[in-house]
Amino acid sequence: MNPDQFWEIIDRTTPASTQKEQLELFQWELEQLSLAELDAFGNIFGELFIQAYNWDLWLVAWLARRGMCSDDGFHYFRLWLISRGRAVCESALADPEAIAGLIAETEEPSFESFGYVMTKVRRQKTSEERDDRGPKHPKQPSGGDWLRPELKDRSGSKLLNLCVVFNELTEADFAVIEQRFPRLWALGLEKGIIQSGGLAKSSRPSNLPTIEQIAATIDPNLAKTDMMAYLKAVADAARQAYKKKE
């Protein structure tokens, strides 16, 4: 399995008129592969998924989802990006602004279930786990030289989610984005997410505490002993904080 063969498989599924239809085509294509070919396909898929884990594309996803793109949301966006085929994906990896037009006409650039098909087909072929788990996903996105270093450095944060970076953008940050990504900036203006001076007021709730401020009220030691309990505590605290502001 080489990159050309990989993309031939993906590209044969892109003419589908719905995501459901594409999933069916994708599953059929993978079922034709041997187990070794399927694992090699998965490795290439994983490498592309990691390449797309960069701040520039997260900015695209953030704008595409109207200023609300969580870590999971960016995960699903990258799956959608690969599902669009070689031309779209490779263009976006080379220049995130290249897909501004596609983003503008796509209602929901997200495809969570596309990432489950390989595992489903593999389980049909064998019950054995892979000896090689494939490429390891990095903890931090690459790129983003337009972001201030203190925004990318989350070492002092009590939250694991990196999406909070976009909640902390200042007017100066938006000025940099406007200069660096003019087509994405125009997309943000079109969607009403940003105004000429920065984030649209309607997209940035006033007098609401940030998620960082809410997390600061939770015992950080809880995250070390019971992460699920910690995340639930943060979610409960957020609901209470926002309810008070209603």
212 and 112: one domain?
no
pLDDT given for residue 74 in this prediction: 93
118 occurs within a structural domain: yes
104 and 216: one domain?
no
117 occurs within a structural domain: yes
17 and 116: one domain?
yes
The predicted-structure confidence for 9-19, as pLDDT tens digits, reads as follows 999 999 999 99
pLDDT given for residue 239 in this prediction: 63
15 and 121: one domain?
yes
Per-residue confidence band for 111, with pLDDT thresholds at 50, 70 and 90: very high
117 and 28: one domain?
yes
Q: Structural domain of residue 75, as residue ranges? A: 3-125
Domain end point (choices 83, 108, 125) = 125
Q: What percent of the chain has pLDDT over 90?
A: 48
111 occurs within a structural domain: yes
170 occurs within a structural domain: no
pLDDT given for residue 227 in this prediction: 61
pLDDT given for residue 155 in this prediction: 66
226 occurs within a structural domain: yes
230 occurs within a structural domain: yes
Q: In the chain, how many domains are there?
A: 2
Structure-model confidence comparison of residues 148 and 86, the more confident one? 86
Which pair of structure tokens corresponds to residue 125?
């072929």
Can you tell me the distance from the alpha carbon of 23 to that of 35, in angstroms, rounded to the nearest whole number?
Answer: 19
Q: What is the mean pLDDT of the chain?
A: 83
Domain end point (choices 69, 101, 125) = 125
119 and 9: one domain?
yes
117 and 219: one domain?
no
163 occurs within a structural domain: no
183 occurs within a structural domain: no
Can you tell me the distance from the alpha carbon of 93 to that of 107, in angstroms, rounded to the nearest whole number?
Answer: 21
7 and 108: one domain?
yes
Domain end point (choices 125, 152, 183) = 125
Per-residue confidence band for 205, with pLDDT thresholds at 50, 70 and 90: very low
Q: What percent of the chain has pLDDT over 70?
A: 76
